[in-house]
């Protein structure tokens, strides 16, 4: 159990980095989708 607790600290740091990276990817996709939808609807309305 003590040995399992040790790598947990390293996994915690990596988890935060992965979470931040995942958040960036999701935010980028949402931005692209939002921009694409806005341009598409804008063209349709025009």
What Cα–Cα distance (Å) separates residue 4 from each residue in 14, 15, 17, 18, 24?
A: 16, 16, 20, 20, 30
pLDDT attached to residue 40: 87
The helix (run of H) or strand (run of E) holding residue 31 is helix 2-45
Residue 6 structural domain: 1-46
pTM beyond 0.85, yes or no: no
pLDDT attached to residue 5: 60
> What is the per-residue pLDDT across 16-44, written as a single tens digit (0 to 9) for each?
888 999 999 999 999 999 999 999 888 77
Domains held by the chain: number = 1
Q: Tell me the C-alpha distance between 14 and 12, whole Å.
A: 5
Residue 7: phi, psi to the nearest 5?
-70, -15
pLDDT attached to residue 10: 60
């Amino acid at each position: 159990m003590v040995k399992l607790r040790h790598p947990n600290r390293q996994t915690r740091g990596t988890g935060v980095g992965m979470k931040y990276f995942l958040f960036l990817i999701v935010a980028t996709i949402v931005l692209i989708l939002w921009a694409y939808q806005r341009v598409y609807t804008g063209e349709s309305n025009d």
